[in-house]
Chain A
Amino acid sequence: MSKTDAAAMAEVSAFYLRYYDALDEMRLEEWPEFFLEDCLYRVVSRENYEQGLRLSTIYAESRGMLKDRVVGLRKTQVYAPRYYRRFPSPALIRSSDDESIKAEHNLLIAQTMQDKQSDIVLSARCYDTLVQTDDGLMIESREVVYDSEMIPNSLIYPA
């Protein structure tokens, strides 16, 4: 591994630490700021993904749509209280050049509801394209492809 590779890995890994910290700590308003204004965000079942079916469980084509998701969570949606905690694996850098990095990692999201044992709401692989900007790395596209065949009722918070 060259020093540049090591530097890239360190940067990517620091990026994900900040990303998942914002989500786990429920600073949801920060979440869209990790994305470019013009971006793609999909949470999609592996079944749809592998068959090339376009339907997603969550689908956003802009930072604005991600902001609207947060507004929904904060202002309009009705759901039981719960904690989400995300367990990402270290990222694998598939490819990188001066402009962008293609990175993949596994993601497990544990859900804990009142009076219940924790369970797994999502078991997924994330396929991300990160780009260098003046503000550091940002997400150009993120596809969270989940194996989970049956969502335990609702998928409330983002992955």
Chain B
Amino acid sequence: MAAAEHQWPEDADGRVPYWVYTDKDVYQKELEKIWYGPHWLYAALECEIPNPGDYKTTTLGEKPVIVVRDEDGEVRVVENRCAHRGLKLCQNRHGNESDFVCPYHQWSFDLKGNLLGVPFRRGVKGQGGMPKDFDPKENGLNKLNVEVVNGVVWASFDHNLPPFREYVGERFWKHYTRVYDGRKLELLGYNRQHIPGNWKLMQENIKDPYHAGLLHVFFVTFGLFRADQKSAVDIDDEGRNAILISRKGEKEQNEVTGDLRQFQSDLQLSDPRILDVVHEFPGEETVGMITMFPSVILQQQTNSLSTRQIVPKGPGGFDFHWTHWTYADDTEEMKLRRTRQANLFGPAGLVSADDGEVIEFAQQGFAASEEQAAVVTMGGREKDPTDHMVTEAAIRGMYGYWRKVMGYE
């Protein structure tokens, strides 16, 4: 069914139709309007490319890009696509180069993406060569809009969007700088998994505190995240970005755990070092999970810090790239603590593996029933920030914004 034929359900803020997760035309339109549109996309951590010439390759939307630090120390993001015949010219995950040379015909580009050289441009023995009107200045790599914000490299295909701070707004600037406070970051490492579900389901998962206290028995059992804990959902004025904030409690049994069918009151950890949590950020909150639409989740789950980058791969799946980090000035003890707590996250995470699995189950449910719709009325139909967890407000906020961008109003 073509995108134009779909109707958004009458209960506009209470339902999300399954076709948003399955339709190829809708997905193509998302790439254009959202991924290649006016949004800051997560590209890298600055500490991945500390020196001039250092680069890493990644994918924004479906487009391969190179994130590189040029000779002057400035971070650039260019499309990883030769201006000549369109090859993905750099095949390495990371490295250090003084220029990028396409293997096919050896066109070379400097670290800013400018075309440096075209072999035989003037021909050989007076024969062939590029025409006189060939202008190297017009045949560089496609350069993206870039802003480095407290250690994170943000990029956009749109050159007219507001600077990052203005884009996220002052409330979210405060949320962002709570963890990304300007201290130098250091890389701990990567996890990569392919999740066979629509990319938006990952955003929804972290905009949905309702599930966290039910699906994740490990969280609840050991008091890391529970429905009765002091918590909040903040949503930006556009509805696109959100944060789940929560305060860790103790292991206990009460009316909330009574509602949880699989609560395991008798469980004990043999080695509790995995939950050796220390308080480190201002305020009482121990969890701050920011969903930056559409490309990333900025995770602060107790002492585990990571960026979780979403790379869409068609309507039915996405690659999920986890980059765990630590502050460069952390003690060895703290680095080890973060490494231990990472056991809760990633493709083998005691908590996060649950999410990948249920996202796959969701996609299995949607696939054959495109015109059905999901219910998102937990906590009402409002899309406003709340001070509790029993809500789907941030999901409603995201779809309010999505409909505006995609033209389903």
Contact = CB atoms under 8 A, between A and B. Distances in A.
B189 interface: yes
B269 to A, nearest CB: 5
B360 A54 contact: no
Nearest to A45: B190
A6 B223 CA distance: 52
Interface string A44-66: 11011001011111111111110
Contacts, number: 129
Interface in B186-220: 187-196, 215-218
Nearest to A159: B348
Interface string A136-159: 000000000000011111111000
A78 interface: yes
B190 A53 contact: yes
A77 B353 contact: yes
A3 interface: no
B274 A79 contact: no
Contacts of A76: 216-218, 221, 262, 264, 267, 350
B343 interface: yes
B193 to A, nearest CB: 4
B189 A153 contact: no
Interface in A65-92: 65, 67-69, 71-72, 75-80
Interface of B: 93, 187-196, 215-218, 221, 262, 264, 267, 269-271, 273-274, 319, 324, 335, 339-340, 342-343, 346-348, 350, 353-354, 356-358, 360-361
24 contacts: A48-B190, A55-B189, A58-B343, A59-B340, A60-B343, A62-B273, A63-B270, A65-B343, A68-B274, A71-B267, A76-B221, A76-B264, A76-B267, A76-B350, A78-B358, A79-B357, A80-B360, A80-B361, A150-B319, A152-B194, A153-B194, A155-B348, A156-B348, A156-B353
Interface of A: 43-45, 47-48, 51, 53-65, 67-69, 71-72, 75-80, 149-156
